[in-house]
Structure 1
Amino acid sequence: MEKPTQIYGLRAVIEAINAGEAIDKVFIQKGLKGDLSRELEGLIRKKGINASYVPPEKLNRLTKNNHQGVIANISPISFYTLETLVEQVIENKKNPLFLLLDQLSDVRNFGAIIRTAECTGVDGIIIQKKGAAPVTADTIKTSAGAAFKVPIAKVDHIKDAVFYLQASGISVTVATEKTNTNIYDLAFNEPCAIVMGAEDKGVSPSVIKAADHTAKLPMLGEIGSLNVSVACGVFLYEVVRQRM
């Protein structure tokens, strides 16, 4: 059911990219030289794959095998293009609900959000190619298998996805503390999308500016924010409450 989640070696990673494998991230040893390394770097740039240059000690911790200076994490699921996801959902559902995650980085938060998304009838999740949490074995486990049930699309920029959704007749609401609008003051009875931000910095200012609405949760205690997966659950269940 699940694909291998890691491959290593220059030629193996190059072949995996050329074969269209869903690669989440490539780790490349700093200072790596040679024709194959240049070929790999060119492919990474061309395909827009997330890559990090790391010391050899990092690679040695990731695998005990002969990595030749390169390790790639392969997603255990296949990803959709934004256009395919949105078109399929709109064709088959009158009142779709999408969830956008703006550079969420923690795999367990990601998994918990996917689980909640499946339980609340989210039709598709949209993440950014670079800077987003990968779909790893931990993500799958935390999602309780929901990652195999909810379609996930990758895009170059979340802001571009916002514009595409809006052009498709879908209203976009950003969850942010930088607003005076309470979540309970908005209507979610029409086709809509919710945007949740990164754990540390929230949603990007450019995405907030592009959205149709912003909304926050009322905070009655002394701590000023919720864990992003918890906040996401509250937002999604408000959509469910209004639609029931």
Structure 2
Amino acid sequence: MQEVLPRSRTAAPRRLCCRSASRRLAPVLRASRHTSLEPVSTRDVGFPYSNDFIVDGKVVDAATVCRLLEPFALEERVKRIEEVVAKRTFTVLPIVEGLYDMGNLAAVCRTADALGYGAVHAVNKADGKFKMSQRTAAGADKWLDVKAWDSTGECLAAMKAAGYQIVTTHLTQSSITIQEVDWTRPTAVVLGNEKFGVSAEAVAAADACAIIPMTGMVESFNISVANALILYEAQQQRIRRLGSHADLSPDQQMALKAVMLTKTVKESQSVLSELLSRPVPTWQSHVFRKLAKEAASYEAALASKGLEQGAGAGSP
């Protein structure tokens, strides 16, 4: 990594607000526009989604959302979503701090999605000025949990409170290589901006500073390249040491599948609202009543048989 003196940075005057901050990064962080249906609750750090969704004021679980929306998506897309969900992790979280070129941020999102990471966080540039780029995330941000923060301090404090170790890409006398980082632990890795690197505040809050070993004449990688190398190393280490990069529970996988389906099916909220408001079709009502009657008869027969056997066992 480039050896530079970290620039001091003052915290943004406004209180942390992930959603309002994301509007300033709207040309790249388009996640809010993609999501048609929001889970009941979300978390800023870690796996972000609850297993329940709100539709017309009613709580609907993720399994129901999946069951109702799957017929409206191509079978190949549903299969692809399931494959992606099964390989996701939110345990390692890339954070980009104060980037100037939005093309680099788009590239970070694309790499994160491709390597099985579920989230990318960004700390806003202090002056709010960004260089736009023709490069895009190729829709990657649609499938990620993308959050923006106004302050490095509050962002990293939230990471530590959630149990994440903080690793910054910064060269010091005590820096370790990215191969020496324990990526099996919940880890937030901070990548700095193109000119100054990570801030002094990020370095001070870090549990470790890490570098990518280099053997050429150049002294640094492009931020998007550095991100790709780091996330690939983390993925491979987790596979070697844990046997798998992915670590979502079945409930988390179901919740994430539901979120992805809501982003796949157009007007997903309207579709769910309509399906949930319809009464059970007549033919289904008849079938349900018949099955219920048969089940009641079967249980009554079993109970009667049990009583008869009990009476026989007690007779002389």
Q: TM-score range by the shorter chain?
A: 0.5 to 0.7
Whichever structure has more helix as a proportion of its residues is: 2
Q: 1:133 to 1:86 in 2, by over 3 A?
A: farther
Distance 1:211 1:21 in 2: 23
1:101 has 2:96 as partner: yes
Answer yes or no: is 1:85 the counterpart of 2:44: yes
SS across alignment from 2:144? coil
TM-score (norm 1): 0.62
Q: Which residue of 1 aligns with 2:235?
A: 240
| Deviation of the 1:96 alpha carbon | 1.4
Following the alignment from structure 1 to structure 2, what is the Cα–Cα distance between the partners of residues 116 and 173?
Answer: 19
Structure 1 CA distance for aligned equivalents of residues 188 and 139 of structure 2: 23
The answer to whether 1:217 aligns with 2:171 is no
Give the partner amino acid of 1:165.
M
Change (3 A) 1:170 1:91: farther
C-alpha deviation, 1:189, in angstroms: 0.6
**Alpha-carbon distance in 2 for matches of 1:226, 1:21:** 28
Give the superposition deviation at 1:133.
7.4
Secondary structure class of the residue paired with 1:231? helix
Counterpart of 1:170, as a letter, is Y
2:280 equivalent in structure 1: none
CA-to-aligned-CA distance 1:138-160 (integer Å, 9 cap, x gap): 4xx52111011111111121222
Ranges in structure 2 where 5+ consecutive residues have no aligned partner: 1-19, 36-41, 52-87, 240-316
Candidates 154, 157, 164, aligned match of 2:151: 157
Equivalent residue for 1:230? 225
Q: 1:89 to 1:242 in 2, by over 3 A?
A: farther
Once the 2 structures are TM-superposed, how far is the Cα of residue 75 of structure 1 from its aligned partner?
A: 5.8
2:169 aligned with 1:175: yes
The 1:234–1:21 alpha-carbon spacing in structure 2 relative to 1, beyond 3 Å, is closer
Q: Secondary structure at the match of 2:189?
A: strand
Q: Residues 91, 106 of structure 1: CA spacing in aligned structure 2 closer, same or farther, 3 A cutoff?
A: same
User: Which has the larger share of strand?
Assistant: 1
Aligned residues: 175
Classify the secondary structure of the residue corresponding to 1:101: strand
Residues 181-227 of structure 1: CA deviation (Å, up to 9, x unaligned): 11112211111111100000000011111011110011111111010
Partner of 1:191: 186
Distance 1:134 1:121, change over 3 A: farther
Counterpart for residue 24 of structure 1? 24
Q: Are residues 227 and 137 of structure 1, via their aligned partners in 2, closer, same or farther at CA, if it must alter by over 3 Å?
A: closer
The residue identity in structure 2 corresponding to 1:243 is: R
* Cα distance, 1:144–1:186 mapped onto 2, change above 3 Å: same
- Indicate the structure (1 or 2) with the bigger Cα radius of gyration: 2
1:184–1:133 CA distance, 2 compared to 1 (3 A): farther
The offset of 1:94, in angstroms, is 7.8
Which stretch of the first structure deviates more once superposed, 164-173 or 122-131? 122-131
Task: Give the RMSD, CA atoms, in angstroms.
Answer: 3.2
Q: Residues 100 and 158 of structure 1 are in contact (CA less than 8 Å); yes or no, is this contact kept in structure 2? A: no
**SS of equivalent residue, structure 1 residue 215:** strand
Please give the secondary structure, in 1, of the residue aligned with 2:112: helix
Pair 222,125 (structure 1): closer, same or farther in 2 beyond 3 Å: same
For 1:203 and 1:195, the matched residues in 2 are separated by 7
| Helix, strand or coil at the partner of 1:142 | coil
TM-score (norm. length: structure 2): 0.49
Structure 1 gap ranges (5+): 1-19, 26-71
1:75 touches 1:134 (CA, 8 Å); kept in 2? no
> Does 2:143 match 1:124?
no
Q: 2:24 is aligned with what amino acid?
A: D
Instruction: Measure how far apart 1:119 and its partner are.
Output: 1.3
How far off is 1:22 after superposition?
5.7
Residue of structure 1 in register with 2:56 after alignment:
none
User: Counterparts of 1:204 and 1:236 in 2: how far apart (Å)?
Assistant: 21
- CA contact 2:123–2:155 (8 Å) conserved in 1: no
Given that 1:99 and 1:124 are in contact with CA atoms closer than 8 Å, whether structure 2 keeps it comes out as yes
Identity %: 26
Measure the CA separation in 2 of the matches of 1:101 and 1:175. 11
- Write the distance in 1 (CA, Å) between the matches of 2:28 and 2:109: 18
CA distance in 1, matches of 2:94, 2:229: 13
